A = this chain, B = another copy of it.
Amino acid sequence: MRIVELPEILDALDEDAALAAVEDGFRRLHRGNVQLAEVAHLNFDNPPGDCHVKGGYMTGDDVFVFKFATSFYRNPERGLSSSNGCMIVVSAKTGEQLAMLKDQGVLTDTRTAMAGALAARAILRQGSKTLGIVGTGIQAKMQGEMIARLLGLDDILVYGRSADKAAALADELGGAAVELAELCARADLIVTTTPSTAPVLTADMVRPGTRIVAVGADTPGKQELETALTARARLIVDSSVQCAHHGEAGWPIRAELTAMDSLVELGALLENSIDFADDDIVIADLTGVAVQDIAIAKTVWERLAN
C-alpha cells in the first residue's frame, strides 16, 4: 500500500478530471450505480470530538474508497488542526489496499467546492454576472475561486461578519467586500458558506430570480437560510435523505411548508436539466455525500498509478 502525503496528492489532483469525476459520481448515484456503505460514527466527550467513516463503490470501477475523518474542536488550543483523516483506496478486484491518501481534509474541501460549482452551473440564469459570497472561511474562498472560474462570473462580492476577513477574501478573489443588503441586491448567484445556526439570509432580502448554493448546513441544528425563503424556492439537494435530515431543506419540511417529494436531487438535475423560470428562486442545498469522496480519491489514484 502506498502512503501518499499532501504535496504528492496536490500534484496528482487534476481539477478538470476531478470535477468531471464528481459530476459522473452524482449522475451514477442518481442512476443507482453506486453502493454506499453505512456511515460509521463515534462520539467523544472529553475532549469533545467525533469520528466518522464513509465509503462506497461505483459499480464496475476498479477501486472503492473509504474516508476516515475526525473533528476534535479543541485541538487548536493545543496548536493542532481540529480535523484529521485520510482516504483509503482499495482494489475492487482483490480487496488489497492500494493507497492511503493523507489529504489533511484538502480533498474533502475540494470535492465540496466542486459540488457547489456543479450545482451553480446547473441552476444559473443565463446572463448572470455577479457572484455573492457569504462567509470568509475555506469554503468561501474555494467556492469563490471554483465558481468564478467555471462559470466566468467576474464580478465578485463578499460579505462576512468580520469586515477585515471579508476585505482580505475580496482582495484575494479580485472582488469587493460589501454589506449583506448590497450583496443580495446585486448578486445573481449567492453562495452561503457559514456554520451559522440562525438564518443569515432572510426571505425579504432575496430578490426573485436569485440562485443560491448553500453549503454551510451539514449537521443537525445548522441553518443559513430563513425557513420562509427555503419554503418558497425550488429546491435542489445533493441527497434527499440527508438534506431533509440536516440540510436547509429540513427546516421547511419539518414545518410542513415543503413536501419531501418536491426535492430534486443534483444527480437527477445533471441528468435531466430543468428550465427554471427567470424569477424562480432556486436553492441548491449541499450536505456532502460519499460519492464525492469516492470520485475525487479515484481520480487522484488514477494519476498516481499511471
**Residues of chain A at the chain B interface (Cβ within 8 Å):** 1, 3, 35, 37-44, 47, 49, 51, 53-57, 64, 66, 68, 70-72, 75, 78, 80, 83-84, 86, 88, 90, 92-97, 100, 102
Q: How far does the Cβ of A93 sit from chain B's closest Cβ, in whole Å? A: 6
A50 to chain B minimum Cβ distance, whole angstroms, is 8
Q: Contacting A35 at CB < 8 Å: which of B1, B42, B90, B95?
A: B42
A71 to B75, CA, bound (A): 37
- Nearest-Cβ distance from residue A2 to partner chain B, whole angstroms: 11
What residues of chain B lie closer than 8 Å to A55, measured between beta carbons? Answer: 40, 42, 51, 53
Cross-chain contact of A97 among B38, B53, B86 (Cβ < 8 A): B86
- A42: which B residues are within 8 A, CB to CB? 35, 37, 55-57, 64
* Oligomeric state, in copies: 2
Which residues of B sit under 8 angstroms from A39, Cβ to Cβ? 38, 40
Residue of B nearest to A78 (CB): B94
- Minimal Cβ-Cβ distance residue in B for A60: B46
Further pairs besides A42-B64, A84-B97: 12, Cβ < 8 Å: A37-B42, A37-B51, A38-B41, A40-B40, A44-B57, A49-B94, A53-B55, A70-B95, A70-B96, A80-B96, A84-B95, A84-B96
Least Cβ distance of A6 to chain B in Å? 13
Closest 3 CB pairs of A and B: A70-B95, A37-B40, A72-B95
14 contacts between A and B (CB under 8 A): A37-B41, A37-B51, A39-B40, A40-B54, A40-B55, A42-B55, A47-B93, A49-B94, A49-B95, A51-B55, A68-B88, A70-B90, A71-B95, A75-B94
Q: B64 touching A51 by the CB < 8 A rule?
A: yes
Residues on B with C-beta less than 8 A from A35 are 42-43
- Within 8 Å CB of A75, what residues of B? 94-95
State in angstroms the CA–CA spacing of A107 and B68 once bound together. Answer: 21
A35 to B96 alpha-carbon distance, docked (Å):
28
Contacts of A71 in B (CB 8 A): 95
Residue numbers in B under 8 Å from A72 (CB-CB): 93-95
**What B residues does A102 contact at CB under 8 A?**
1
Chain B residue at smallest Cβ distance from A1:
B102
What's the least CB distance linking A231 to chain B, in Å? Answer: 33
Chain B residues whose C-beta falls within 8 Å of the C-beta of A68 in the assembled complex: 66, 88, 97
A290 to chain B, nearest CB (A): 10
Smallest beta-carbon distance A165→chain B, Å: 26
A71 nearest in chain B by CB position: B95
